[in-house]
Structure 1
Amino acid sequence: MDIATILGIVIALGSIIGGQALEGGHLSSILQLTAFIIVMGGTIGACCVQNPLPVVLKAVGSLSLAISGPHIDHKGIIKLILDLANVSRKQGLLALEGKLKDIKDPFMKKGVQLIVDGTDPKAVHEILEIEVEHHEEEGVIAAKVWEAAGGYAPTVGILGAVLGLIHVMENLADPSKLGGGIAVAFVATVYGVGAANLFFLPLANKIKYKLKEEAGSRTMIIIGLVGLAQGENPRLLQEKLESFLPHGERTKEQKK
């Protein structure tokens, strides 16, 4: 669970509702179903027009990456690669086949399987690198759907405001209907601008960050597996892999 994402949403909504209360306003005055339908429906429709349905669905699925993205244990990855390197150094690369069942990460498992199958280290690097690039590219396309939503929502909010004002103008002779129309007009703008800047655009950037983080860990795996396949000394391999860690998490020798 990404606490920062949840905390950010709570703080954003809490600040808006709290500010509204401090000004003496009521929560019911900013809860307008009509405005919500106009803004969210219009934004979703625009995104569906811009993107193929599979991309839109993938964007919805990518929310899980922003909210509860997988925790990447870099030290655990390094330890596993070094264990595999020690096994291959003592027993040969074919001995790694017995370790496949203990590898949970599908990406690493695929790389080890390629090595066990006798694939050339250069080819292993190319195959895994292509997979990393493809995975990141797919994720970025999904993130761009949320970026697009962040661009459309304020404009649709303005459209909702205009519709509300049209409703007001049509009922100038009936003062009892003016309040509702004006409320929809202003609340639609609030929903559009708020949704774009508090949710859609931040979510897009969080997804991109998570993708970069995943790509970094997979690049580390590639370097480790290629070094393993080439028979590099485990100590040298450790030095190389720990270069991916923040300075404070490296071994004492690496810090010097």
Structure 2
Amino acid sequence: MDPATIIGIVLAFGSIVAMVTMEGAHLSALVLPAPMVLVFGATIAVGVASGTLKDFLTAVKALPRAFRGKIDPPQKVIDQVVGLAEKARSSGLLAMEQEADGVDDPFLKRALQNIADGTDGDELRVLLEDEIATRSRSDRVAAKFFSGMGGYAPTIGIIGTVVSLTHVLENLSQPAELGPLIASAFVATLWGLVSANFLWLPIGARMRRLSELEVERMTLLMEGVLAVQAGSQPRLLGERLRAMIPDAPVKVKADKPKGEKLKEAA
């Protein structure tokens, strides 16, 4: 589990609490049910209205992953693929069926099963690329839903403030109550901005980043298993996959001393 999103959101709300405390104000002045119901309820409602019901359900299902999501580091993927290449060279491609039984990743499991079944390399590439593209589209739908709510929330907060100020204008005959009424009117705007910038936009950005990392991982696996099917040498395959990773250290085999080369030649 990568706690970056949870830590960031907690620190963001903690900053507000710290500011309110340092100003000598009370949190109860900000936690008002009426504006919060309007901002959160209407934001979710217009988010649903901006797409389809299926988009909403997809976003809800993807929400836990935004907090718990973790992508395997590239080096772990490379080590796994190199191990498969070594197994294929020693036991043949039919051994990939046995390897597929011990794999939890559905993407890799299907790829290995197709290799064991003798699927053509070009057809397998098309199949895996289509699966990657489908996963990417699904992730974009969820990310777009939350980013869209981040755009709606501030405006809905302003609507809540306008509605509250209308109520304030109805009580101009009671000057003693104008201050508290005006202050509570701007709470809707506050929650609109806070919910957008502390929740919806970060969650949408987090989902996009996790999607990018997942696509990179699946692409690395795809190139790896296709190379395994083609019979690539494990060490060269590892170097090739490391070359696909930004800032990854490329292991270079040191040249042997001239004396050792002569002994091997003899």
State the TM-score bracket (shorter-chain normalisation).
over 0.9
- CA–CA separation in structure 2 for the residues paired with 1:250 and 1:184: 60
Deviation at 1:189, TM superposition (A): 0.3
Q: Name the residue aligned to 1:72.
A: 72
Q: How does 1:15-34 map to 2 (within 5 A)?
A: 15-34=15-34
Is the 1:34–1:184 Cα contact (8 Å) retained in structure 2? no
Q: What's the CA shift string for 1:103-157, capped at 9, x where partnerless? A: 1111100100111111111111111111111101111111011111011100000
- CA–CA separation in structure 2 for the residues paired with 1:248 and 1:46: 43
- CA–CA separation in structure 1 for the residues paired with 2:225 and 2:250: 20
**Bigger radius of gyration:** 2
TM-score by length of 1: 0.93
Secondary structure, counterpart of 1:93 in structure 2: coil
RMSD: 1.8
Is the 1:2–1:66 Cα contact (8 Å) retained in structure 2? no
2:32 is matched by which residue type in structure 1?
A: Q
Task: Give the direction of change, closer, same or farther, for the CA distance of 1:99–1:81 in structure 2 (3 Å limit).
Answer: same
- CA–CA separation in structure 2 for the residues paired with 1:229 and 1:152: 49
Q: Name the residue aligned to 1:105.
A: 105
Range 24-33 or range 78-87, more displaced: 78-87
Deviation at 1:177, TM superposition (A): 5.4
- CA–CA separation in structure 1 for the residues paired with 2:61 and 2:252: 41
Q: Name the residue aligned to 1:228.
A: 228
1:135 is matched by which residue type in structure 2?
A: R
Secondary structure, counterpart of 1:62 in structure 2: helix
Deviation at 1:249, TM superposition (A): 5.2
- CA–CA separation in structure 2 for the residues paired with 1:45 and 1:239: 50
1:232 is matched by which residue type in structure 2?
A: S
Unaligned runs of 5+ in 1: none
**Percentage of identical aligned residues:** 37
2:103 is matched by which residue type in structure 1?
A: I
Range 146-155 or range 70-79, more displaced: 70-79
Is the 2:239–2:250 Cα contact (8 Å) retained in structure 1? no
Q: Name the residue aligned to 1:96.
A: 96
Q: How does 1:94-173 map to 2 (within 5 A)?
A: 94-173=94-173
Q: Name the residue aligned to 2:214.
A: 214
Q: Name the residue aligned to 1:202.
A: 202
- CA–CA separation in structure 2 for the residues paired with 1:223 and 1:7: 35
Unaligned runs of 5+ in 2: 255-266
Secondary structure, counterpart of 1:104 in structure 2: coil
Deviation at 1:250, TM superposition (A): 4.7
- CA–CA separation in structure 1 for the residues paired with 2:42 and 2:181: 19
Range 80-89 or range 185-194, more displaced: 80-89
- CA–CA separation in structure 2 for the residues paired with 1:134 and 1:218: 12
Is the 2:153–2:193 Cα contact (8 Å) retained in structure 1? yes
Aligned length: 254
2:235 is matched by which residue type in structure 1?
A: R
Deviation at 1:24, TM superposition (A): 1.4
